Amino acid sequence: MTRHARVSRAIEELLARLHGPFEPALTRAEVLAAIGRRGLESAVAHSELVSVLPGIYVAGDLALDHRVRCAAVRVWSKGRILIGGESALHLANPRFAAPARVRAIGPPHWNARPPSWLDLSRRPMPRTRSTFRMVPCLAAEDALLDAWARAPAHRRKDILYQALWLKIVGARRLISEAARRRRLPDRAHFDAIMGDFLDGATSPSEVMARREVFTGQRFRDLEWHVAMRIAGRDRTADSLHRARRVVIELDGAGYHSSRTAVDSDRTRDVEFASEGWHTVRFSFRDLRERPEWCREMLLRVLATRRPRP
């Protein structure tokens, strides 16, 4: 086997290692130990390896991957920096969209110069932290509050609702963490949304529907979080229109996608129907992405139902 062939094999093995789940970013010393100086020069020349931070290398085709960049920050800082904000929420659940820049928190004395793709703030480091996808992060509730604080005002509600819907953090833990903070931008708005959970709301879809979608005079007769006795069972309707005998159920696939949950929802709908109630279901995605459609469809359903005293 020629030297060139040995170098090529070493590079292939290193790239397989970088594409695995455990080591997406390596130091220059680790790369040199694996493929040598000639291998490093060749891999960089062919864009197989890219230095995303001083002395930190990742696979070229993963250089823009958000998780890989977060892992590179961990290696670069030797674990002294924690991933925060929307980056941590994305690592906790990839269904939460990755932001354009990696968000991170470093200790006050950290004086390294970050690249343009790294949004780094320096502050006393928290005692409580989490690890998501093998990357040290702020605890989920801290990360969500960090995302709220860093986001422009018009995006804050969406970040909050989505993180709660994806169950990245629970409402009560979030409320408890927020109460310990002396400063939180737009706190009155945050407290108003979270207050609905303290008042009995059980899901972000219910809160979004009540606060953002089914609002105004057209929906003034809707009742929210209503305890009922249906077919001999205690049930709670997310919302209902009593005169039209319409029940509105919220959440959709986020909470009700399993076969068992679908069967349970079907049983529930049939039992409500047996007592004259018509059930309308809206998913979180419907409420978030097409609220006007949700309003129009509900009004159409209500219009087809004969009012009862």
pLDDT greater than 90 at residue 170: yes
Stated length of the chain: 309
**The domain 204-304 belongs to what CATH superfamily?**
VSR Endonuclease (3.40.960.10)
Whole-number average pLDDT of the chain: 93
pLDDT category of residue 256 using cuts at 50, 70 and 90: very low
pLDDT for 161 = 95
pLDDT greater than 90 at residue 111: no
pLDDT for 308 = 74
Q: Domain ranges for the chain, please list them.
A: 3-63, 78-195, 204-304
pLDDT for 49 = 97
Q: What is the average pLDDT across 253-259?
A: 53
pLDDT for 139 = 97
78-109, pLDDT tens digit by residue?
999 999 999 999 999 999 999 999 999 999 99
pLDDT category of residue 110 using cuts at 50, 70 and 90: confident
Domain 3-63 coded CATH 1.10.760: no
Sequential DSSP letters for the chain: --HHHHHHHHHHHHHHHHTSSS-S-EEHHHHHHHHHHHHHHHHHHTTSEEEEETTEEEEGGGTT-HHHHHHHHHHHHTT-SEE-HHHHHHHH-TTSPPPSSEEEEE-TT--PPPPTTEEEEE-PPPS-EEEETTEEEE-HHHHHHHHHHHS-HHHHHHHHHHHHHTTSS-HHHHHHHHHT-S--TTHHHHHHHHHHHHTT--SHHHHHIIIIIS-SGGGTTEEEEEEEEETTEEEEEEEEETTTTEEEEEETHHHH-SHHHHHHHHHHHHHHHHTTPEEEEEEHHHHHH-HHHHHHHHHHHHHHSPP--
122-150, pLDDT tens digit by residue?
999 998 999 999 999 999 999 999 999 99
State the CB neighbour count (10 A cutoff) for residue 16: 10
Q: Of 146, 156, 255, 162, whose CA–CA distance to 204 is shortest?
A: 162
* CA 246 to chain CA centroid, nearest Å: 32
pLDDT greater than 50 at residue 282: yes
pLDDT greater than 90 at residue 198: no
pLDDT for 165 = 92
pLDDT greater than 90 at residue 4: no
Q: What is the average pLDDT across 158-168?
A: 95
| 22 vs 255, higher pLDDT | 22
pLDDT for 257 = 54
pLDDT for 1 = 41
Query: What is the percent of the chain with per-residue pLDDT over 70, rounded to a whole number?
Result: 96
8-65, pLDDT tens digit by residue?
999 999 999 999 999 999 999 999 999 999 999 999 999 999 999 999 999 999 999 9
* CA 19 to chain CA centroid, nearest Å: 24
**What is the C-alpha separation between 74 and 83, in angstroms, rounded?**
8
pLDDT category of residue 2 using cuts at 50, 70 and 90: very low
